[in-house]
Amino acid sequence: AARHGKLLGVNEPFLYRVCDTVIHENREAYPDLLEKQSYITRVIKTEEDSFARTIDGGMRILAELMEEMKAKNETVLPGADAFRLYDTYGFPLDLTEDILADAGMAADTEGFGALMDEQRERARAARGDMSEAWAGIDLGLDNTPTMFLGYDTLEAGGKVLAMVAENELSMTLRAGESGFVILDRTPFYAEMGGQSADHGVLKLGNAEFAVSDVQKNKGGKYLHHGKMISGELLLGQEVSASVDASRRAAIMRAHSATHLLHAAL
């Protein structure tokens, strides 16, 4: 719906404006919607803003790929290119297919699927490695779960409560080292219920930790797995945690309010 709005010349968020009507029409069947009305509206507008950036960036790249295809008299976008659009730029496959179809082209969905399977295998292996890294390690923390802020914001400050590198608790993580970081609060969504984890960065000055996976342990602590790109992090520091908004928008599954919106449209 957002894309077709753009095609009609609507270059600003508009779906969130339908919320009041949708919630009013469904207030008896879903009374909780009234209590969450302002939150639902805010989340949908945030997703629209993020998706608009995803569309703009992906469209430019896809347009270049389509020009190359035309020059070579080709009509099928290689699976590797479709996957790169999705994995690197957060551009959904179904959107790629729609745009290609409008130009009489198609995407190699089998090739895309094979690359997705490979990525899942790599993710499973990484999760296994991470599980081994913290299994049996006493993190020395209380039972307070990590405070999750990701439904309200994609950026937040958090205190470094613990770090693990080389299968051991560490007081610091330096450039080039891989490990995981536990914060007292985070906007990062941990993998659960079939939804992939957020990616993004933890920053403090010139220190940057690239987050490539997030898991939640049995105690409710969020384990941010990744690699130090520059500088170093120290135990107890306050860092800025920023989620990759384009990736979040691409992988989020429609929640109940979004289902209602599309049904109304």
Q: Per residue of the chain (265 residues), give pLDDT as tens.
A: 666 776 677 777 888 888 889 888 888 888 888 888 887 888 788 777 777 777 778 888 999 999 999 999 999 999 999 999 988 777 888 889 999 999 999 999 999 999 988 887 876 666 555 555 554 456 778 888 999 999 889 999 999 999 988 778 888 999 999 999 999 999 999 987 667 889 999 999 999 999 999 988 878 899 999 999 999 999 999 999 999 887 887 766 434 444 445 555 5
CA torsion 87-89-91-97 (nearest 10°) is -80
Distances (CA, A) of 192 to 125, 204, 252, 262: 16, 28, 12, 25
In the block, which residue shows the tokens 């008896």?
28
Tokens found for residue 49: 């803003």
Domains of the chain: 2-107 (no CATH), 147-243 (2.40.30.130)
**Half-sphere exposure of residue 22: CA atoms within 13 angstroms, side-chain side:** 23
What was the pLDDT predicted at 131? 53
What pLDDT does residue 233 have? 93
pTM of the model: 0.52
Tell me what pLDDT residue 253 has: 47
CB of 210 closer than 8 Å to CB of 226:
yes
For the purposes of burial, counting CB atoms within 10 Å of the CB of 216, is it exposed (0-12), middle (13-18) or buried (19 or more)? middle
- Give pLDDT, residue 94: 87
